[in-house]
Structure 1
Amino acid sequence: MSFNFLGTCSISELTPNGDNKELFGNIVRTDGFSVDFLFYKRQQSGHGALFQKFDLTLDDFSLDEVDNTYLPITLDPGRKSVFTAAIGLEYNRQVRRCTTSEYYHMTGSTQYSTKLNRKKAVTGIDLIESQIPSPKTSRLEIYELYTAYTLNNLDALLAFYGSETAKDRFMLYQGTQRAPETMANMLTHGTAKYNHKKRSKARKRKRQRKKKKKGKNANQQQPTKSAKKWKADKYLESPRRVPLIVFGAGMFGKDVVKLKGQRCGVVGYRRSSLQAMSKAMAERH
């Protein structure tokens, strides 16, 4: 029997022998659409052997070596932007950016929220949820009011959040797994956002028609020339240069600190996805 779908070759790798890296937890769960197999992974103490080989400091690099062999990517995390990266050491260097709203669009959560809110308005669930009393209280009578209201509307809530939502939850899970990888590729390789060669031709033709139509209706007056401002360089592919990523530490440990009007908790995903990519490349070579 093949166990490739579980990420292993044989059942012997899942049988406890003292040297296992992963163990099957004897738990299989399903929500009616997807199936979960629960595994336990051995906790690693300290850095592994692969990371000890690449324990580098700034003294290990020279300026000529960085300029000729590596592609320096200096990035700094933020709130409105998950990262803003400057590519290269030149004055007119490339700038790549991924906003927080762009990240949540990659996960599919914004589209799902719009769809869910529209469905709530049709079924009347939004009215029920907006009138739920707050359970955050020290007064017994208010908490009893919250319990009674929840029990009275429990059937309607369970019917709305039933097994039909299992597919949407699975798609959101796939989106959260896919978005950090897409973000890491955007940083190191540009993706279609910055590399125009990877964009579809249909979008290009549509944009050209729109630009041509706008040019016919625009006034013929020439705009006044303003002072020359700094402008980021266009995307330039460097396949032979090794990406050398330099992190700004301003957001380390502050990623989950909430600010009004700003979503938090995204910055750590980018660093972990880059570390996973680096580990995969090290194992491959």
Structure 2
Amino acid sequence: MLAKLPGLIRIPLALLLLTINIVLHVVLLFAFTLLKLIVPIRAVRRVCSRVLVAIAESWIGVNNRLFDGFTRIRWQVDGLAGLRRDGNYLVLCNHQSWVDIPVLQKVFNRRIPFLRFFLKQQLIWVPLLGPAWWALDFPFMKRYSRETLLRHPELQGKDREATRLACEKFRHMPVSVMNFAEGTRFTQAKHDAQSSPYRYLLRPKAGGLAFVLDAMGDALHAILDVTIVYPQGPCTMMDLIAGHVHDIRVHVRELPIEAGLTGSYDEDAAFRGRVKLWLNALWREKDDQAARMHQATNPAPEGD
């Protein structure tokens, strides 16, 4: 019904309801975060942490219902059978668009532990959302340019140490750690600049994957290999809100964590080589999977 409204009404209404949803849930998040900070009793803090996750899952759930109401997306999702809410997962995904995040949240919300992303340090200043991510224990990473590291060599490894500290916190709670191994969103210009050997993907970077596995290895029980495809091509968050995204395809595959995937990425050259070989092989399989997903026949739109 809402998807049939004229765009001049539908888009502002969708933005208004999404904003109201953010404000209401963030206020609740801040209230329980304050309680968690000021009460030194460990049991109370554990309860607050569980409540914060429940609030976040409610926030995502309402977003999902709004997107379902305002859009007519044809979803093709497979590989969700057997997922556990009490498991600990490392989620590896290709990165096509900012739309990937609400897609992952829709697919996995309340099916696996709450997804946490590694975020750039600057995003903590995003109004409402930045403090909310901080309250939910999203790890913020401060990345240094090559030029900065040359001028200040003492900063070398600081971002990786932050990764390690964040992952240590995750060892004591059910968690799904999200990693976009490509490190940036796909564009044809980036693909060409990298001379990427893949048709639909950028070259993956193994460092972040290796550090998460090293810090959390025995606490994680599986890797979820996720491939997202938008058959119509690149899209933005505004395209999603405006109802311009009509087809989304998601493939999920659970993989074991092999013994050879844990070790010191900085100090062990042999281990570094193994991780890169493993990740490149996975990306070749993912590229083939993306090709099959692009070629798949569209299902009939709902309601047609």
Shorter-chain TM band: under 0.3
TM-score (structure 2 length as normaliser): 0.22
Structure with bigger helix share is: 2
TM-score (structure 1 length as normaliser): 0.23
Q: Which has the larger radius of gyration?
A: 1
